[in-house]
Chains A and B, each alone.
Chain A
Amino acid sequence: MMVPSPEQRDYIDALDTLLTRADPLQALPDEPGDRVLDRGLWRELADTGALALLAAPPAEQDVATALLVSECLGRHVAPLPYLSTVLAATLLARLPGTPAGLLDEMAAGTRLATVGMIGVDGLLHPGADVRATRSDAGWRLTGRLPFVPDGDAADLAVVVADADERPAAFLVDLGDPGVVRHPLVCLDQTRPFAAVTLDQVAATPVSTDPEELAATLAAARAIGVGILAADLAGTIRAMLDMSVAYAKTRVQFGRAIAGRQAIKHKCASMLILVESARSAVYHLADQLGDANPERDYWASLAKAFCAEAAATCATEAMQIHGGIGFTWEHRLHRYVKRATLAAGLLGDADHHHEAVLAHLEAQHA
């Protein structure tokens, strides 16, 4: 069980202050539309060291603090490319062909990398729709990446492609003339996705060993699931705090609705979910080592719980807010949408409940 150290608590407090001051939701358009990434804020986040936590060699990575960062970003529903950076960094840090200096540029917030292997089911796996061919000029990739997180803004993508009927990982420059980005209409505007097509795009191989690649994808899957669970834990905490604050100011029948038992009990039930979600995430923080045989089990357990807790908290927060919570003007919808996407991405509650059961069955077999 991770207990945040005094240094970690001070660090997260500072991050919280930074995000409160920057108020990144302001960067989202008032009308339904796409995010414009606030690169200044992204570099400020990088300056705190938040990106170097995972954009570093595996031995120097600090996954536990990264989960705390993600919880804080979730509390602010920050429209920043943290998840895609974590996924790309987890892969690149473990794969032998990663160009020298790239992780440092990612850690500094000057180069933005994402991943291209999220399938139409929302899971991270080798994309069957990309073909790699080799000529004298090097590798070229052709195919389609259906769900690229932060595909609107990323400079690079790690892509898994079929190279001579074996999966291999490549790095592609999304500025290449053979790349076309199709922004998708996203429920959650804080975490936009794009479909990306590749047509004979020059690519740098980063791993051509299928076993190494499979193990690295498994690490990225577990850490990505942890980052989303932490993000959800933060988002539902914010939903609870907003609901309590609103109920204290909303007067009906001559008194604040916060004094009504029906509202108090909804909030107390949300608190039980919020604190339990946090316990799951803080426990997971100690379990994400590459060699831990229980890593994937604890990741699935945390995600299954946080995903369902998020659905419940979103419903209750909307109910407590009444009509105002249904308006575009009130920020609650950003939280509800963020939680809905995070709950489904990299495996929904059903997927992770099945994974938990598979683990139990393997133990009993």
Chain B
Amino acid sequence: MVSAAERLREFLRATLPPEWVAAVEANDGDALAEYVADTERVAPFVRAVAAEGWLAPEWPREYGGLGLAPDEAVGVRRELARWRVGTVESAIGIGWVGPSILRYASPEVAAELLPPIARNETLWCQLFSEPEAGSDLAAVRTRAVRDGDRWIVNGAKIWTSRADRAAWGLAVVRTDPEVPKHAGLTCLCVNMTSPGVEIRPIRQMTGDAEFFEVRLTDVVVPDRYRLGEPGQGWEVVRSVLALERIAGSGVGAATPGSVVGRSVEELVAQYLPTADPMRRARIARIWVEAQLVALNNQRNAAYRSRGLPPVAAGTPYNKVLQAEHSKRLQRLFLEFGGLRLLAHEPDDTAAARDVWAFLRVQPKTIAGGTSEVLRDQIAERALGMPREADPSRTLSWRAYLESLAGEERRP
């Protein structure tokens, strides 16, 4: 039987421009990166691929996907990554917000919101983190108050990726301050063009501004755009984060376009032939580690497909590995490239790409759960080790805030 990945390969050969196909088939990473860097040229072709459902292979057909099994979808994602079809921006909608809409929205809202995501027409952002709620995400302070069949939202969100291009945002907000921290949260889909939504870019160490601050002032959200029940927000957030961490687990798991920088194959092709013994050792280790990241994803998907209990109780052990691996890999490109990368001619786009990738992977161990929070989670959920005491789990949110204020007042 022809696998889904093989069908996709045939389709891509027939659909994409000859230069793109040639770069992929010659395994020419530089030419491919050069080609897909022109996002305007590439966009209509990505849409053509998306129109067939390939970007959301596991989604049901009626919502724009292909209804494939998890292990078949792994092959499809690997193939898309090889062809560099898909963008970082589309990952949020396809990778983790979409599946949560599928699970928690009404069929009418799912039919409205999902197909444009699968077709790569509508981008989404996550209105999760706040200045006071980073690793302790359930400590969000943005309030939503019910007003008939709508909610009025006020607060401030931060580290929102691509808020400038997103048509929609998935927000977690506090709807009940009289119950403990995790119990008073609700998830709402916010139309980013609503009055009262203001965004401000945050410039990163790459020089780009992919992240934004988002202020929400008396933003109106119709109740039908609620995901899950009022008070069920933390459960929805956890399911979104679990999917985000699978998507952040590298080759085979990652949504197309979300792996930053050149691949380990490119490192080997460029640097192994001339590597001295010290470098050979480093190349061997990073190669083996890259294969393990991919094998872990294959194994996780194979267990899911057979309905077996997930590896490591479903904790994101491979997200931790992939995040640390990406940083090690991109650092090798930078170190092996040497000074000609650190100080390069203005038109040396290859050097610029390696430098950018090195900088861009730095937050991989922070975004989507810091490696420290995730190691806690692995220890607690996969190994049954005890949690730290957390008074905000038992006090009502209002009483907890008052106790914090009291501590601050004390001399």
Taking Cβ atoms with an 8 Å cutoff, the residues of A that contact B are 1, 3, 240, 244, 247-248, 256, 258-259, 261, 263-265, 267-269, 271-272, 275-276, 278-280, 282-283, 301, 304-305, 308, 350, 353-354, 356-357, 360-361, 364
Contact = CB atoms under 8 A, between A and B. Distances in A.
A271 B317 contact: yes
B288 A353 contact: yes
A357 B284 contact: yes
B376 interface: yes
B385 A1 contact: no
Nearest to A247: B385
B153 interface: no
B302 A3 contact: yes
A350 B277 CA distance: 11
A357 to B, nearest CB: 5
Contacts, number: 116
B299 A268 contact: no
30 contacts: A1-B299, A3-B299, A3-B306, A3-B308, A244-B385, A248-B384, A248-B385, A259-B386, A264-B383, A265-B372, A268-B378, A271-B312, A271-B382, A275-B296, A275-B317, A276-B296, A276-B321, A282-B299, A283-B299, A305-B288, A350-B281, A353-B284, A354-B280, A354-B284, A356-B284, A356-B288, A357-B284, A357-B287, A361-B272, A364-B268
B225 to A, nearest CB: 37
B214 interface: no
Contacts of B312: 271, 275
B379 interface: yes
Contacts of B291: 280, 301
Contact of A256 (B302, B311, B386): B386
Interface residues of B, number: 42
Contacts of B374: 268
B320 interface: yes
Nearest to A269: B375
B99 to A, nearest CB: 23
B298 interface: yes
B268 A272 contact: no
B379 to A, nearest CB: 4
Interface SS of B by simple majority: helix
A248 B269 CA distance: 47
Contact of B379 (A264, A304, A308): A264
A249 to B, nearest CB: 12
Interface string B127-171: 000000000000000000000000000000000000000000000
Given A259-B385, A276-B292, A356-B287, A1 B298 contact: yes
B303 interface: yes
A278 B376 CA distance: 22
A248 to B, nearest CB: 7
Nearest to B287: A356
Contacts of A268: 317, 320, 374-376, 378-379, 382-383
Q: Which of B284, B285, B375, B382: most chain A CB closer than 10 A?
A: B284
B309 to A, nearest CB: 11
B88 to A, nearest CB: 25
Contacts of A240: 383
B388 interface: yes
B297 to A, nearest CB: 9
Contacts of A244: 383-385
B283 interface: yes
B273 interface: yes
Query: Can you list the 4 inter-chain pairs with the closest CB atoms, starting with the nearest?
Result: A264-B379, A353-B284, A268-B375, A268-B378
B295 interface: yes
A279 B378 contact: no
A360 B268 contact: yes
Contacts of B289: 305
Given A265-B375, A276-B295, 16 more contacts: A1-B299, A244-B383, A258-B386, A261-B388, A264-B383, A264-B385, A267-B385, A268-B317, A268-B375, A271-B383, A272-B320, A280-B295, A282-B299, A301-B288, A353-B281, A356-B284
A41 B272 CA distance: 49
A279 B269 CA distance: 26
Interface in B382-411: 382-388
Contacts of B295: 1, 276, 279-280, 283
Given A354-B284, A356-B284, A364 B378 contact: no
A279 B296 contact: yes
Contacts of A278: 299
Contacts of B382: 268, 271
Interface in B37-92: none
B283 A357 contact: yes
